[in-house]
A and B are shown apart, each in its own frame.
Chain A
């Protein structure tokens, strides 16, 4: 029934979009003032377990309002506002998974059986972004003003996304904006990065040499789904379950009630809590490079128990310094490969927090680096290969550095419906490696058919494979179909999403 509904819905939506017609809505509202946007539906369908299980079906409306100030107005050049409300109809359709969690209900026959205490507010939280979701999936997505002072100083003030990295799919220097991991299948950076309010100034010494300053007053953490959401990671579920009833993990359910978690976010009104970064960009002998420094907070907040049993917990981010750089260069011929672009990023993290298997927070320095190789093969296949490694410095051992956990704790780490969580392996190794392959090719005269293939492998044996095909029916209307497949052990970063292998469909109409 549900699959049929999906297709009927998609057909209906398509008819509506075609019915709107191909004529543009008047978009030049006034001199310099322009409104554009799109209507989009993204539907994710789980491929395992219950075959017709819709994971989400988001209807999104995006409005971009752009105003170019006349040249007579000093300093201010442009104003941009992006509004992106959405409504996820999965809560109206589905009785399973995320859709089944309708505040107080316990879904039957689902993969995850949710304790009542965790089954709260999930619909309110994820159905739209008029409430809590505005923090990580904001309604007012971007709102900034471009300024120009003199000939060399440019600024962008307001809520925006800034990218420092040079990679796709795996990120290293892209530290400025935190990531929204509500759906681990979402790939487009613009959709997974959370825009931040910031001051972004760039002074251009020459066309290629410039100095950028970022000041970000308000801290926003990375977002992971919770509350029994389809995309709630194991570690989040475990923590939520533990805090819901700590006594249960000591064999004394209900004894202590719920843990008390106190969020201690940095007060943005205190400038000493602000994040700030400096980036020098330059070009030397054809190599474009950058040197970066970012004084920031950790994207993930750490939990600091205030008592021996973890009944009172303070959750706060930690201060980190990041010093890094990036480069790219276009080789005419390297080892027989013509027209090869090599790019790289490197970052030294000072005082990054790692969680050990016994749930202690350890501050360690680490070095991450990424190398990417881009080239066209067979005329028009664009191929990008990336290697990323992360090294924890001064680690106690090469592998499984976080050992020595009391055996009693080992058996407590059982996530219902998932299995045993072997904490003896810790949350990461001293050296973590990931390799990705990204291929793009367009087909048909006019390049109306676009294909993308993304493959990621991690040293823990995890895989993520994401093929996607998009067809442009007209310059305003396009559809896409794709898949996300995950392999690996159930407690690894991507392996745990094996249960969430999915097919996704997109319908988009620009106006």
Chain B
């Protein structure tokens, strides 16, 4: 009798083991990488998850719905980005943040395409909406022709947004809620342009920008009519509507959501085509592998320089991340990588500024980019970046253009 009970017990164990094996092999499949899940939450109606990869300490697997993305650090990434991995972007989704991240992830999903685009302009690094203070910087603006030959100019710029309460309060009453941004630019090089200055006020109520332009050859400040939005910014492949005069201009349609494709081959990696710039400098991030809204932008007026413009906007930091423009025949005519950097990641952990924004016109092969805050690079003027250096409101004046300032912190 005892021997029969022993046989039954062994049989039961074998059957259970067999069943468990079947179960784990075919039914309860575990993840491909058995890494530690370091974050998981819902975003855009899909589960977003990040796992460490065993044996690859700085790499991560990112999952969002059906998509996967292997996140790897690249030499051009800022230290804080490499250190935190994809979780770096989660700083903009915590509760209790300032505008524009005071809106929860869930509430952001209720925005329509035009709202999303508007927030990507106003709230972010383009209109400085998250800051109550100004930035100032001096930097080259570089242009490569189709053969990689380079020209650059050297300029200083200042910008301030008027969305935060402290910034709004600094405006006259009639301008509060009306004026959105002030922008100042001075050219240092080439000598032909040295001393030229531009002051631009952008508004929230749809009126055209007020632009004052100073030219040393005439020694006067002139009110300038707002340039055609589709015209090139002088000496570059940027269009006016990319930078200086940007507010929602066109028609917008949300065509999907996806993890931002890396497009590393566009610029800077794996090998920067121009010897003066390495794969490491300037330090930046561009939202690769982050959940994005994908918006199709079509012109409000025809003809326009593009027929369709696809924009990836990061759901977390609500910044433009990647843009690809197409002509009426469906051919890509331009790409632009919207990269950023945190100039002061410890002191201002939420306030990025645009970095480089390389843009290539595929019709001509010309490419522009504006590297900022890289310090010293042989063959180029030094570039420094400053936040909150006490620029007085009185300095946002056409009178300042007359002085042809020679340094970015000209008010000191």
Q: Among the listed B212, B223, B225, B236, which residue makes an inter-chain contact with A376, where contact means beta carbons less than 8 Å apart?
A: B225
Is B361 an interface position by the 8 A CB rule? Answer: yes
Q: Closest CB-CB distance, A450 to chain B, in whole Å?
A: 10
Q: Are B395 and A376 in contact (CB under 8 A)?
A: no
Q: Are B231 and A376 in contact (CB under 8 A)?
A: yes
Q: Are B225 and A341 in contact (CB under 8 A)?
A: yes
Q: Are A478 and B192 in contact (CB under 8 A)?
A: yes
**Nearest-neighbor residue (CB-CB) of A373 within chain B:** B225
* CB-CB contacts below 8 Å: B210-242 with A: 210-212, 216-220, 222-228, 230-232, 234-237
List of B residues within 8 angstroms of A146 by Cβ: 403
Q: Are A163 and B218 in contact (CB under 8 A)?
A: yes
Docked complex Cα distance between A478 and B225 (Å): 27
Q: Among the listed A151, A163, A328, A472, which residue makes an inter-chain contact with B223, where contact means beta carbons less than 8 Å apart?
A: A328
Is A447 an interface position by the 8 A CB rule? Answer: yes
Docked complex Cα distance between A38 and B216 (Å): 15
Q: Are A208 and B397 in contact (CB under 8 A)?
A: yes
List of B residues within 8 angstroms of A445 by Cβ: 145, 232, 237, 361, 364, 366
Size class of B's contact patch? Answer: 35 or more
| Given A330-B225, A376-B225, CB of A190 within 8 Å of CB of B398 | no
**Nearest-neighbor residue (CB-CB) of A188 within chain B:** B217
Q: Are B226 and A190 in contact (CB under 8 A)?
A: no
Q: Among the listed A161, A166, A474, which residue makes an inter-chain contact with B219, where contact means beta carbons less than 8 Å apart?
A: A161
Q: Are B151 and A475 in contact (CB under 8 A)?
A: yes
List of A residues within 8 angstroms of B366 by Cβ: 445-446
Q: Are B232 and A447 in contact (CB under 8 A)?
A: yes
List of B residues within 8 angstroms of A208 by Cβ: 397-398
Is B190 an interface position by the 8 A CB rule? Answer: yes
Q: Are A375 and B225 in contact (CB under 8 A)?
A: yes
| Given A339-B225, A380-B231, A510-B192, CB of A446 within 8 Å of CB of B207 | no
Q: Are B231 and A474 in contact (CB under 8 A)?
A: no
Q: Are A165 and B228 in contact (CB under 8 A)?
A: no
Is B281 an interface position by the 8 A CB rule? Answer: no
Q: Closest CB-CB distance, B193 to chain A, in whole Å?
A: 9
List of A residues within 8 angstroms of B206 by Cβ: 332
**Nearest-neighbor residue (CB-CB) of A190 within chain B:** B217
Q: Among the listed A189, A202, A281, A339, which residue makes an inter-chain contact with B218, where contact means beta carbons less than 8 Å apart?
A: A189
Q: Among the listed B189, B231, B235, B393, which residue makes an inter-chain contact with A379, where contact means beta carbons less than 8 Å apart?
A: B231
Q: Are B220 and A163 in contact (CB under 8 A)?
A: yes
Is B93 an interface position by the 8 A CB rule? Answer: no
List of B residues within 8 angstroms of A154 by Cβ: 399, 403
List of A residues within 8 angstroms of B394 by Cβ: 151-152, 204, 206-207
Is B152 an interface position by the 8 A CB rule? Answer: yes
List of A residues within 8 angstroms of B217 by Cβ: 188-190
Q: Are B234 and A442 in contact (CB under 8 A)?
A: yes
List of B residues within 8 angstroms of A374 by Cβ: 223-225
* CB-CB contacts below 8 Å: B136-194 with A: 143, 145, 151-153, 189-192, 194
Q: Are B219 and A476 in contact (CB under 8 A)?
A: no
* CB-CB contacts below 8 Å: A473-509 with B: 474-476, 478, 508
Is B91 an interface position by the 8 A CB rule? Answer: no
Is A71 an interface position by the 8 A CB rule? Answer: yes
**Nearest-neighbor residue (CB-CB) of B218 within chain A:** A189
Q: Are B398 and A202 in contact (CB under 8 A)?
A: no
Q: Are A151 and B364 in contact (CB under 8 A)?
A: no
Q: Among the listed A163, A204, A332, A343, which residue makes an inter-chain contact with B208, where contact means beta carbons less than 8 Å apart?
A: A332
Q: Are B222 and A78 in contact (CB under 8 A)?
A: no
List of A residues within 8 angstroms of B266 by Cβ: none
Q: Are A166 and B220 in contact (CB under 8 A)?
A: yes
Docked complex Cα distance between A510 and B211 (Å): 28
List of A residues within 8 angstroms of B207 by Cβ: 332
| Given A189-B217, A478-B192, CB of A204 within 8 Å of CB of B227 | no
**Nearest-neighbor residue (CB-CB) of B195 within chain A:** A64
List of A residues within 8 angstroms of B364 by Cβ: 445
Is B57 an interface position by the 8 A CB rule? Answer: no
Q: Are A330 and B192 in contact (CB under 8 A)?
A: no
Is B83 an interface position by the 8 A CB rule? Answer: no
Q: Closest CB-CB distance, B396 to chain A, in whole Å?
A: 5
Is B392 an interface position by the 8 A CB rule? Answer: yes
Is A389 an interface position by the 8 A CB rule? Answer: no
List of A residues within 8 angstroms of B392 by Cβ: 151
Q: Closest CB-CB distance, A95 to chain B, in whole Å?
A: 34
Q: Are B223 and A330 in contact (CB under 8 A)?
A: yes
Is B406 an interface position by the 8 A CB rule? Answer: yes
Q: Which residues of B contact A (CB under 8 A)?
A: 143, 145, 151-153, 189-192, 194, 206-208, 210-212, 216-220, 222-228, 230-232, 234-237, 361, 364, 366, 392-399, 403, 406-407, 412
Since A329-B223, A374-B225, A380-B231 are in contact, a sample of 19 more A-B pairs with Cβ atoms closer than 8 Å, ordered by chain A residue number, is: A36-B194, A168-B218, A188-B218, A189-B218, A207-B393, A207-B395, A207-B397, A330-B211, A332-B208, A339-B226, A341-B223, A343-B222, A376-B228, A380-B232, A382-B225, A446-B151, A472-B192, A475-B151, A478-B192
Q: Which 8 A-B residue pairs are closest in the complex by CB-CB distance?
A: A510-B191, A163-B220, A207-B397, A328-B223, A475-B190, A380-B231, A445-B364, A445-B366
